[in-house]
Amino acid sequence: MEFIRRNNNLPRLQVMDGVYVIVLLGLLTFNGAHSQKINYADNSFDYLATSCRKHTVSLTDFGGVGDGITSNTKAFKAAIDHLSEFGTDGGGLLIVPPGKWLTGSFNLTSYFTLYLHRDAIILGSEEESEWAALPPLPSYGRGRDAPAGRYSSLIFGTNLTDVVITGDNGTINGQGAVWWDKFKKEKLDKTRPYMIELMYSDQIQISNLTLIDSPSWFVHPIYSSNIIIQGLTITAPVDPISPNTDGINPDSCTNVRIEDCYIVSGDDCVALKSGWDQYGIAVGMPTQHVIIRRLTCISPDSAVVALGSEMSGGIQDIRMEDIIAINSQAGIRIKTAPGRGGFIKDIYLRRMNMETMKYVFWMAGSYGQHADTGYDPKALPVIKDIYFSNSNATNVTMTANLAGIKDDPFTGICISNVKVTLSPKPKKLQWNCTDIEGVTSDVSPEPCALLPDQGLKKMVSCPFPTDRLPIEDVQFKVCSVGLQHLNS
């Protein structure tokens, strides 16, 4: 089921004094068997979710104050603790009503839905004391920002089953500027919080929300499975203002569906990960069976979709289609290095349209940044079976920068039916190819010698899987809610 799409498929981009202004063409529309009916006038509404809930409360029932000043950390905890009692009796729904709800980090529970009214804004606290401290992730061995632990994500959960975070395009604002400033000035001894992180969990839906200014990564499911991320609008100032504000980062996750999202990012719009060096190798949980489709991305200093660089548990069976990239550094980027180990294989991309790009394809086998000195430099990654087809790009500086690893080449690269139009001042070298092996067909500009053109008669197109992933067949239900004090 297609949950949400934008009319005309992409926003119009205007440039005013060097600032990118997004003008959305048309209204958000809902397609499929059911559309979302919002009827707040009589305090009732329908919404779409993988699971409906029997018990419903409002944040105001537990002392919540939506003035943007009062802390609601205790109110969120009390409401969720109450609803956790109904896991075996139809589950619980927490409504965040209209208002500005300041809070520190809080934990979710199983068989639970967090629903944001269209006029609700969750504000991340700027006080470090409002954020719980956590140990480093097992597959990372240390924090990404600092050797010590990390701050809990704004919305966090671990060992959960059947969790929905959704709304009528309500907003979560991480108020990340204070964290970005402290990070740049090296004033933090722990890794910055993410906006949403669910660990060791199953059956996750994150949909129909606006996410703004996360302190670091926005959406980070890790060690989890059966995940749908859909209909998100994610925005942060582009780098260097908002460092490491990746949009969606599935990490050691299986069976993932990412679709119909719009992302303006200070880092990669989507990054697939699976752990860092020896720690990721030891945990050994790959990210696999992922479909990414109908994504629109703007990321001037990073990639639309990145694989790595933390990929030591492996990344495989990734399917990408119908993606729009505007003013981004790279369309698809593979990042790895000696010491990573792991693998990136069975990667498929078709129908990607790109405008104003530094690179269309970028593969780097020398992306360092090791967790510590304990990694094994002989742990070489396996990069193979990468398939790109039926894509176009305009105003491009360099078509491809493909650099494998000496004595460990990237193999099985296939590129077909890809047309690239260069910028007014392109690089003289359009294909930089070292330590790679593969073939091409119907590609322009002319590929490098390591990717010989097979001609249309020998090879029509690179393959794309014809089977469906199990997550693609998960359907949404129409959930009805009646709440007399919705607007209290």
Is the separation of the CB atoms in 394 and 360 below 8 Å? no
Q: What is the mean pLDDT of the chain?
A: 91
Decide if pLDDT at 34 tops 80. no
pLDDT band at 81 (very low <50, low <70, confident <90, very high): very high
pLDDT digits (tens, 9 = 90+) for 53-69: 999 999 999 999 999 99
Is the separation of the CB atoms in 399 and 430 below 8 Å? yes
pLDDT digits (tens, 9 = 90+) for 261-289: 999 999 999 999 999 999 999 999 999 99
Find tokens 């119908």 and name the residue.
322
The pLDDT, as a whole number, for residue 459 is 79
Q: Left, alpha or beta for 358 (phi > 0: left; psi -120 to 50: alpha)?
A: alpha
pLDDT band at 239 (very low <50, low <70, confident <90, very high): confident
Decide if pLDDT at 418 tops 90. yes
Average the pLDDT over 203-207 and give the result: 98
pLDDT band at 28 (very low <50, low <70, confident <90, very high): very low
Cβ partners under 8 Å of residue 370, min gap 6: 276, 277, 337, 339
pTM of this prediction? 0.92
CA distance 28 to 14: 20
The pLDDT, as a whole number, for residue 39 is 57
Decide if pLDDT at 36 tops 70. no
pLDDT band at 486 (very low <50, low <70, confident <90, very high): low
Determine which helix (DSSP H) or strand (DSSP E) holds 81, and give its type and residue range.
Answer: helix 73-83
Burial class (CB in 10 A: 0-12, 13-18, 19+), 187: exposed
pLDDT band at 35 (very low <50, low <70, confident <90, very high): very low
The pLDDT, as a whole number, for residue 460 is 76
CA distance 3 to 309: 31
End-to-end Cα, the chain, rounded Å = 34
Residue type, 397: T
CB 100: neighbour CB atoms within 10 A?
Answer: 18
Pick 32 or 295 by higher pLDDT: 295
Average the pLDDT over 81-93 and give the result: 98
Average the pLDDT over 398-402 and give the result: 98
Average the pLDDT over 78-90 and give the result: 98
User: What percent of the chain stands above pLDDT 70?
Assistant: 90
Closest CA to 277 of 373, 206, 196, 202: 373
The pLDDT, as a whole number, for residue 13 is 39
The pLDDT, as a whole number, for residue 41 is 60
Average the pLDDT over 224-247 and give the result: 96
CA distance 232 to 221: 15
Is the torsion defined by CA of 150, 152, 156, 160 positive or negative? positive
Closest CA to 235 of 464, 58, 19: 19
Task: Tell me which residues are annotated as active site.
Answer: 267
The pLDDT, as a whole number, for residue 368 is 87
- Which two tokens mark 205? 């839906």
Q: Which of 29-43, 110-124, 231-245, 352-366 has the lowest mean pLDDT?
A: 29-43
CB 268: neighbour CB atoms within 10 A?
Answer: 31
Is the separation of the CB atoms in 297 and 304 below 8 Å? yes
Q: Which of 140-149, 162-171, 197-206 has the lowest mean pLDDT?
A: 140-149
Average the pLDDT over 104-133 and give the result: 97
Is the separation of the CB atoms in 257 and 233 below 8 Å? no
Taken in order of first residue, the domains within the chain and their CATH numbers are 57-267 (2.160.20.10)
The secondary structure of residue 181, as a DSSP letter, is: H
Is the separation of the CB atoms in 323 and 295 below 8 Å? yes
Average the pLDDT over 427-442 and give the result: 97
